[in-house]
Structure 1
Amino acid sequence: MQVKTVNGQLENNWLVPLVCSAPHVMGFLRMCITKKRPSSGTKAERFKRAEVRPQTKSASGLTKKHTDDLFAKEEQYKLLNAELEAKTADLVRQAEQLMRGQSEVLSKPLSTLLLTDIEDEEDSRMIKPQQSTVKEPRVKVVINKRVTSTSQSMRTGKQGKESHCKTATSKASHSDKLEAIEDSVDFFMAKTIRTMEEKMNDTVTHENVVDDHDVCNAGDNVGSDAQIRVLKAKLRIMQEEVDQLSCEYYKKDDENAKLSAKIKEIEEDRARLQKTTSIQKTQIEKHRALAEESAKKCDGLQLQVSGLHKEIENLNRSNKQAAAVHSTVEVRLNRALEEVERLKTQLNKMKQMNEDKVSKEHQSKENLLAENKMLKKQKAELIVGFKKQLKLIDILKKQKMHFEAAKLLSFTEDEFMKALDWGKL
C-alpha cells in the first residue's frame, strides 16, 4: 500500500517492506500515525495563512476572485489531508491484518499449514491470470514476470518438499524423523516468507507503475509551492516537538540538581551525627574509667579499716597481759597503775583518733555515695541522649525514604501525565 501527497508523490512507500519484518513494526507505525497532523486550524494552516498574507499585501490591487481561489485551494488541501488520514488508517488496518494472519499461520500445526499453502498457491494461479487481463499492457508485463518467478519458485519448493518427504519416509530411525520434521518446518517458514515478500513486491511494482502515471497527470495541476508549504509545516511541528523535549530535559536536570543538593545535606547531617556519637562514646569511656578508679579507692579504704581493727585488738590484749603481770608487785602495781593511766590516756587518744577516723570514713563514704549518684544521673542522661539520637537517626532514615518515595511518585506522575497527553493526541 502507498499514500500520495498533494503533488502525487509517494509518501509512505517505506511502510510496505516493513510490515512483515518484525512484530515491533506495528508499534512504530502507530507512533508515526498517531502524531499530531496539521489539521484545518493547526500550525500548518497558520503557516499557510502567514505565507498568504504577504502575497495579499503585495497584491492589494487584485480582485476578490483571487481570494476565492485561495480559499478554494485551502478547502482542497483540507480534503486531501482528510483523504491522507483515511488512507493511513486503512494502511494500519491492513498491516494489522497481515500481522494477525502471520501469527495465525505460525500458531497452526504443520499439516494444516501445508494444506493451506497448497490451496493458496492454486488460488493465486487462478487469480493472477484474471488480473493480468484487466490491467494495462505495461502492468501486464510486470505481473507476468512476477507470476512466472513465483510459479517457478513454488514448483521448485514442491519438488524439494516431495523429495524430502520421500527420503524421510525411507529412513526408519527416530532421529532421522526428527531431522526431517525440523527441515520441513524450516523449509515451510522460508517458503511462506518468500511468498509474502513476492506478493508485497508485486503490489509495490504495480503501485509504482500506477503512481508514475498519476504523477505525470498531477504534475500539471499542482505546483511545487504546496509541497514546500507542507514541508515547512512539518519542519515547524518537528521544531516545536524538539523545543518541548528540551524543556522537559532541562526541568528534569533541575529536579536532579535539587535532589542531589538534598542528598548532600542529608549526608552532612549524617556525618555530623556520627561525630557527635563518637564524642559521646569517648565521654562514656572516660566516665567508666573514673568509676573504676573510685571503686578501686573504696577497696583500698576498706582494707585500711580492717587493718586498724586488728591493731586495736592486739593493743587490748597487750594491756590485759600487763595488768595481770603487774598486779603481783606493789611497785610494779604503781608502775602498772602509771602505765594503766598512761595506757588509758593512750586509749582515749586512740578512741578519739578512731572516732575521728570513723567520722572521716563516714564522710568519705557519703562523698562516694554522692559521687555515685551523680555518675548514675549522668549515665541516665547519656542513655536518654543516646536514645534521642537513635530516634533522630530513625526519623532521618524515614525522611530519606519519603524523599525517595516522592521522587518515584514524581516520575510516575510524569509518566501518567505523558500517557494522558498521548491519549488526548
Structure 2
Amino acid sequence: MHIDLLAPEPFARNDFWSTLAWLRANSPVYRHPEPDGPGFWALSRYHDIVRVYADSDTFSSAQGMRLGSEPAAVAAVANRMLIVSDAPHHTRLKRALHQAFAPGRMPRVERMVNDVVRDLVDEAEQRGELDFIDLAKQLPNRVVCAMMGIPRADWSWIGQLTTEAFDSPDENVRSTAHSEIFLYFIDLLNRRRAEPGDDLVSEIAHQSRVTELDGTDRPLTDEEIVFNCNGVLSGANETTRYSAAGAVHMFARHPDQWRLLREGGSQAVGPAVEEVLRWTTPGVHALRTVTRDTEIGGVPIAAGDKVTLWNVSANRDEAVFADPHLFLADRRPNRHIAFGHGRHLCLGAHLARLELSALLRELAPRLDGFELAGPVVFNSSNFTWGITSIPVRLRLARNVTGTSPLAV
C-alpha cells in the first residue's frame, strides 16, 4: 500500500482512514520518508502513542510539535510556549497558567459560554438554513476573545488570523499570521499592565506566577504571556470549531443518534460530547524528538529521530474501541486522546467540553434534526483538520417547549 501522510489530498477528501487502518494492522511503527528530509516515525496504535506522550524525558516537545515546523520559529518559543516545552519548564508554565483557569473563574466562564451559545443558536434558528461552520467558528472565538478582553471589533479578524496561523498550507502565511497575533498580544498586554481588567490577560499578567527550581516565585515574562495567549487562542478556536461542525455532520447522517441524544436527557450530553471529540479529533498528529536511543513496539529508535503520534488513528484503534468506525452518541467507555495525554493534555480541554456541551444542550430541544443542504468540505491539513463548510437546513421541533428532556 502506498503511504503518504504528507499529501494534502487525502485529508481534503476525508479518505485517509484506510491508510491509518493499514498502518495499525501491518506497520504500527512505520518509517515514513520525507522529500527533503531524513524521514520520521509514524505511530498509529493507541497504546504506543499513549506511552510516548507519557515519557517526556525520552520524547521531547521542545524541538517542534508538528511536521513542517520552521526550526528558527520553534527555537524562538522553545521552553517558553507550553506546547513546545519539556519539564521542568513545561511543569512550571502549566501550573502558572492553570491559575488563570482556577475553579473560581469557571462559573463566570460557564455563564459566558451559555450566553454566547444561546445568541448563536437564536440567530441560526431564525435563518433556518446556514453553513453551520459560520456558527461553529464563532462559538469558541467569541468565548475566548471575551475571556481575554479582546475588543469585539477585533474578534472576526483574530479568528481569521488564528485559522491562517495553524491551518494554512503555506509556511509564509502561517509565519506572518503568528507574527501578527504576537504583535497584537504585545500591545494588549501593555494596555492590561497599565490598566488591569477582569479578563484572562490581566489575570495572567498580574496574578500568575512561576515557581523556579529554587522555590522562588516570579511573574511570567512578556514573552511567556504572549506566546501562551497565542496557544490558548488557537487551541480554544480550532478544537471546538471542527468538533462542533463534525457533530452536526454525523447527527445529520445518523438521525437515530440525534434522537438518542434528545431522548436521553441531560445525562446523554456528556457521552455525546466525548464521542464527538473522538470522532473528529481535530489535532491530527503531534511531533516528538527522541532524546536517547530507545524502542517502540520492539522497533529500535535512535536519538535525534522524529516521532509522530497520529491521534486520529489512536482514536479509531480496534484494540481499544469497540466498533471504532461507528459514531455512537452513547459510547461508554470512551478513553479517547483528542486532547493529547499526560503532561501535554490540552490546557483548554475543559473549556472545549463546556462549549460543546452547551451547544448540544441548546440545539437538542429546538431541533428534530439536521439536513445536509450541500457538499461537506474538509481542509487539507494533516495537523489541525476538520470541516470548513457544511450547509445544513435545521428541522425545527414542532413544539419547542418540552420537546426534549434537555429543555428542562
- State the TM-score, normalizing by the size of structure 1: 0.21
Q: Counting strand residues as a fraction of each chain, which structure ranks higher?
A: 2
TM superposition score normalised by structure 2: 0.22
Which one has more relative contact order, counting CA pairs under 8 Å at least 6 apart?
2
**More helix as a share of residues:** 1
